Structure formats: structure tokens, C-alpha cells
Amino acid sequence: MKQTIRKFLHSMKMQWYNVQIAIGGAWRFFCKQQKSMAEKMVAEHYMEDTQTDDTSVVFTCNGWIWHGGLADRLKGIVAVYDWCKRNGRQFRINFREPFSLQDYLIPNKVGWLPESIVYNKDFSMPRVCLMEPRTCHKKEIAEHQNELFESWMNENLSDTSKQLHIYTNMERKDADFGARFNELFRPDSRLQKIIDEHLVNIGGEYISISFRFTTLLGDFTDCTGTPLPPEERTDLIERSLEAIKIISRQAPVHDKILVTADSETFLSRAKEMENVYVIPGKVGHIDYDHGDDVNMKTFLDFFLISKAKKVYLARSGKMYRSAFARTAALVNDRPFEIHEY
């Protein structure tokens, strides 16, 4: 009964959204929703009595709102930093939930660690721009994404009287992601040491193939999908293992195949294949499982993918079209391809 009521209420909510989008347009509706979230955040959190004269633009992950996975956050960071660099604004990163970013990535050429963060509406203000499929996949937005998000930043980040806290996962496809990312970040010494160890273990040129099963194989916690029946899980695993062989035959010349996935069940099978390298460690999504072991595995996957000769995302059926591998490929400007099977 409760599930039926929830489905009904969700259906009514979606119908209301669609009516609002039809009346005012997807972009107008999106901006209205983002402004509403920012106003709610001010009412709930921006009540400190501390003061500051810092008026920098601060990319913010503090757990007060949904932030998305690591790739979403990194895309948002680069998009905001790119705008700040072009517009002469001081840029900072306040990434402290569900972990501190500087435990894994440290400033490279840009000092992005904030000196102080103030949650006082007289001295600071949130700005929210979180992309989500309901509106951002609409043709009106998808076909003009760069211009619309540039317009949003021009309007929302130009206030120089307050410290601006930016909550976003936006992607600016015309920004040079690799150059901006490498200006901002380098792995901390602990992460770099382990990256180097795995590169030695791989011992040559390699391609990377990533799989994003989410909940389909029943061994990963995520916000999307439901597990497949056992016989369908077996079939998907076998077809995915075959996809590795097919991609390897078509790929540029390589010595090894780095396979990454969000399923330990699948990885346990993949690592038995010839010339396949799997990074050991616990698999998890940072929104649901964010111990140091999971975080380290996520960053290792990301940086080792970024160094591959070519990067592939392999997907079939209900598998998720993840941006993780594509974002990693952008770090060192590696070719990227989606392999459907």
C-alpha cells in the first residue's frame, strides 16, 4: 500500500514538472528549482554570526545537498574554475563531505584551499546549479548547454560583495578539462606512490575498459535500478567478459587491459582473463560507501584510466552510461569510445 502511494505521488509530481516545463520552458523551470534550493539552504544553514572579507568563489561539497559521484564533482570544479580564471576571480574548493578532497588531491599550480568558510547570509551566499536528467536532457538545454551554463555563471558568480558557495556538477564541454584539472590538482604523496606501484605492475602500454553495472548484479549500492534475476546476471557477466575480448582485438596495440567496474563479482571473473589487470581494493560509490579504502580505489581507478592508451566504456541494456571513464580520459587527453554490446 505504501509503495503504491509513493508511486502515485511520484507520478503526480512528474506530471506537475512536465506542465511547468511546457508552460515556461525547461531552462526557466530548471533555474527556478535551483534558486529555490539555494533559498532553502540559506534558511536552514546560513545563520552563523561569523564575518569575513573574503569574496572568493568557492566550489562547495559539504553534505547539505546531493553532490553526485566523483566525476560529477570534478566536472563541476573544473567548470567553475575555468570561469573564475577567465573572469579574474579568486577560486577556492571546500570539499569536505563525505571526505576531505585534500586527503587524495593537493594543489598543483593553483592554491585552492580556503582560508576560512563563513555561513552567514550577510557575508556569504549559496548558488546551486545541479544538473539532473528531468530537465537537463531536454533538447532545449542539451543543445545549448555551454551557452546556458556560461550565462548562469555570468549571472550568479559575478557578485563581488560576498563569499559565493557554488554547489554544482555542471559540465562545460568547451572548457579544456585536462589543462584546468592539472593546474588545480596532483595526487598526494600516498596516492602517487600507489599509482606508481600499479604502473610498474602493469609493466607496459595498456588500454582501459570500464563497466558500470550499478545494482544490476546485486553487489553494489547505488541510487539507480534493481538487481537482475540470477540467470540474467550470469548472462550479462558472460557477455561482458566477451566484450573485453572483442574490444582488445579492435583496440590499439597494447600489452595489458585495465578493467574497472563497480561489481566485485564481475571483477573477480575478469581478473582471471589473460592480460587483464584489475586494481585490488574495495569497490563503492562515494555517496554510499566512503571509507578510505573505497576512496583510494576510486582515485586509483580514475588516475590509471587517465594514463591508458585508449579508454573504453563498455555497456549493454540497462547498464549506466557513466561519465567516470570519459572524465578520466580528459585528464591526459586520451581517446575515448563507448562500446555497446
**Same domain as 229, residue 252:** yes
CATH at residue 294: 3.40.50.11350
Q: Which of 140, 167, 186 is the last residue of a domain?
A: 186
Let me know whether 102 and 211 are in one domain: no
Conformation bin of residue 276: beta by default, left when phi > 0, alpha when psi is -120 to 50: beta
Residue 22 in domain: no
36 domain residue, yes or no: yes
Q: pLDDT value at position 136?
A: 82
Rg of the Cα atoms in the chain: 21
Same domain for 207 and 288? yes
Question: 87 with 153, same domain?
Answer: yes
Are 247 and 199 found together in one domain?
yes
- The tally of domains found in the chain comes to 2
**Is 14 contained in some domain?**
no
Domain boundary among 154, 186, 218: 186
- Percent composition of the chain: helix, strand, coil (DSSP 3-state, to 5): 45, 15, 40
CA distances 98 to 62, 71, 153, 186, Å, are: 8, 14, 26, 20
What's the domain range around 220?
A: 189-340
Residues 172, 33 share a domain: yes
Using CA atoms, how far apart are residues 285 and 221, in angstroms rounded to an integer?
7
Quick one: 179 and 205 in the same domain? Answer: no
Asked if residue 193 and residue 178 are part of one domain, the reply reads: no
Asked whether 165 and 159 are in contact (CB, 8 A), the reply is no
Task: Please report how the helices 177-184 and 70-87 are oriented relative to each other, as an axis angle in degrees rounded to 10.
Answer: 90
* Residue 224 pLDDT > 80: no
Are residues 240 and 276 located together in one domain of the fold?
yes
Residues 78, 145: Cα–Cα separation, whole Å? 15
* pLDDT, tens digit, 9 for 90 and up, residues 229-283: 999 999 999 999 999 999 999 999 999 999 999 999 999 999 999 999 999 987 8
The β-bridge partners of 93 are 59
pTM here is 0.91
Question: How does residue 178 score in pLDDT terms, banded at 50, 70 and 90?
Answer: very high
Whether 3 is in a domain gets the answer: no
pLDDT tens digits, 293-340: 999 999 999 999 999 999 999 999 999 899 999 999 999 999 999 999
Residues 175 and 302 in one domain: no
How many residues appear in the chain?
A: 341
User: Quick one: 114 and 165 in the same domain?
Assistant: yes
Domain endpoint, select from 163, 186, 209: 186
Residue 160 counted as domain residue: yes
Asked whether residue 19 is domain-assigned, the answer is: no
Considering the domain boundaries, does residue 104 fall inside one? yes
**Which CA distances in Å does 112 have to 68, 75, 78, 81?**
21, 16, 12, 10
